[in-house]
Amino acid sequence: MSTAIHIGLGANLGDAAATVRDAACRLAREPVLDGVRCSRLYRTPAWGLTEQPDFVNAVVAAQTTLEAPAVLELLLRLERAFGRRRADDGRDRWGPRTLDLDLLLYGDARIELPQLTVPHPHLHVRAFALVPLLELDPDAVIPGVGRAADALARVDGDGVEALG
C-alpha cells in the first residue's frame, strides 16, 4: 500500500538553491518514491538561530511503500551524501547546514518514535514549510492540528519569498 508523504528541504550554506534543486532531483530518482513533485524554491529568514544566512526551502510530495522510519533513513543518507554532519548532542539543531531534509507528513499518521515525530513537531508554526506545502497540496491537513492553510493564517509569513 502506498502512502503520500511530504518532505521539507532546506539549505543555507554554499549554493543553497542548487543544493535544494539537486536534492529534489535525487529524491525523484529514488526507486522507492513515486510521483515526486517539488514546490518552487523559497528564500526564507533563518528560524530558531537567526544570526546566520537566509535559507532556501522547498517541499517535495511523493508516494512510497516504505514505512516512516525507512523514509527517515533515506533522508539521513541523502543529507550525508550532500555533506551534512549532525552533531550527536543536538548543538547544530537550528544552525547553518548544507542540507536539511525533514519528513513533514506521512499520510494522516501520527508517529512518536525516539528518532522520528510525524507530523513534524514544528510544521504548524513554520511558514517556510507551510507555504511550499500548500503550493503542492492546497487541502493539506496536519494530523492533530487541522488544515495547513489555517495554520499558515496564524503564523508570520513575512520574508518567505519565491525565487525566480
Q: Which residues pair with 161 in a beta bridge?
A: 43
Could you list the active site residues?
84, 97, 100, 102
Element of type H or E holding 134? helix 127-136
Q: Is the dihedral of CA 63, 73, 125, 15 positive or negative?
A: negative
Upper half-sphere CA count for residue 70 (Cβ side, 13 Å): 8
63 grid coordinates: 508516494
CA dist., res. 148 & res. 141, Å (int)? 5
**Strand pairing category for 141-142 and 146-147:** antiparallel
Q: Give the H or E element holding residue 76.
A: helix 68-81
Please state, in angstroms and rounded to a whole number, the distance separating the CA atoms of residues 38 and 23.
10
What's the gap between Cα 135 and its chain centre? 13
